[in-house]
Amino acid sequence: DTGVSQDPRHKITKRGQNVTFRCDPISEHNRLYWYRQTLGQGPEFLTYFQNEAQLEKSRLLSDRFSAERPKGSFSTLEIQRTEQGDSAMYLCASSFQPGQGIYEQYFGPGTRLTVT
């Protein structure tokens, strides 16, 4: 039984570099979410996909951030020209939404990004 997986688990990069993170959701889940968590805070929503369609982006997601979910399977989150303020834990979650109602999201282990 595989849960949500994320790669890499840790990433250290220099300011100005581009980074890309990958998330593999639970296979039958049609929704995929990205959150960001900084130290001592709860996760904050960044964006989500219903199958391959990106349905909402938070105002936290600047133009330097882009996310994709080709074919409605795995997703990537890219940050261009990283800044020190981007240092955080990036969490991916997935859920199965058969219709109305809201179902629990299952989280991956996260990717911890450190920008030096």
Give the interface with other proteins as residue ranges (CB under 8 A): 33, 35, 40-45, 48, 55-56, 89, 91, 93, 97, 101-110, 112
Q: How far is CA 10 from CA 62, 85, 105, 113, in A?
A: 22, 16, 22, 6
CB of 109 to other proteins, least distance (A): 5
Question: Based on CB atoms, which residue is closest to other proteins, 55 or 83?
Answer: 55
* Structure-token pair, residue 115: 């920008």
Question: Based on CB atoms, which residue is closest to other proteins, 82 or 94?
Answer: 94
CB of 81 to other proteins, least distance (A): 26
CB of 27 to other proteins, least distance (A): 18
Question: Based on CB atoms, which residue is closest to other proteins, 36 or 115?
Answer: 36
Q: How deeply is 21 buried, as exposed, middle or buried, from its count of CB atoms within 10 A (0-12, 13-18, 19+)? A: buried
* Structure-token pair, residue 32: 């995929």
**H-helix or E-strand spanning residue 45:** strand 44-50
